[in-house]
Amino acid sequence: MAGLYIHTPFCTQKCSYCDFFSAPPIGNQLKTWHLLIQHNLELIATELSPEIDSIFFGGGTPSLLTPDQISKILASCYKLFPISTDAEISLEANPATLNNEILTGFHAAGINRLSIGVQSFDDNNLHLLERKHSVK
């Protein structure tokens, strides 16, 4: 069994405490990112084709991608690799990027687990961390 890790290195702003590589998208980068991922998956699949039991969208902020983009990336995964029927398909999400419509779209696209970057349940701490969401 193996897992696929799919990276989205974009964030709307750089948090002061963050050591991960990420930057605001430039030009059309966010709109075309899924095409680059799909191309990379095709390249990987020419060399490796293990059974996949987990797919993880990490970042950066992969929840900046649209449900349609996630759906297209997952369609490539299912086309190119044998995916377990009970595979865990996770998406890292920044609360500031989520609403009911987007969450419904991610679920419909095939996401079955969210990793939500809450960071704190104290608004003072969220302000200190320059996060855009509140405890509410």
- Name the residues that contact ligand SF4, by CB under 6 A: 11, 14-15, 18, 20, 22, 59-61, 94, 117
d(CA 112, CA 90): 6
123, two tokens:
């608004």
Per-residue buried b or exposed e for 55-72, using 16+ beta carbons within 10 Å of the residue's own CB: bbbbbbbbbbbbbebbbb
Q: Which is nearer to ligand SF4, 49 or 120 (CB)?
A: 120
Least Å distance, CB 11 to ligand SF4, is 3
Smallest distance from the beta carbon of 114 to ligand SF4, in angstroms? 14
Closer to ligand SF4 by Cβ: residue 61 or 69:
61
Instruction: Compute the least distance from the CB of residue 116 to ligand SF4, in Å.
Output: 11
Taking the least distance from each CB to ligand SF4, the nearer of 41 and 129 is 129
Q: Least distance from C-beta 99 to ligand SF4, angstroms?
A: 17
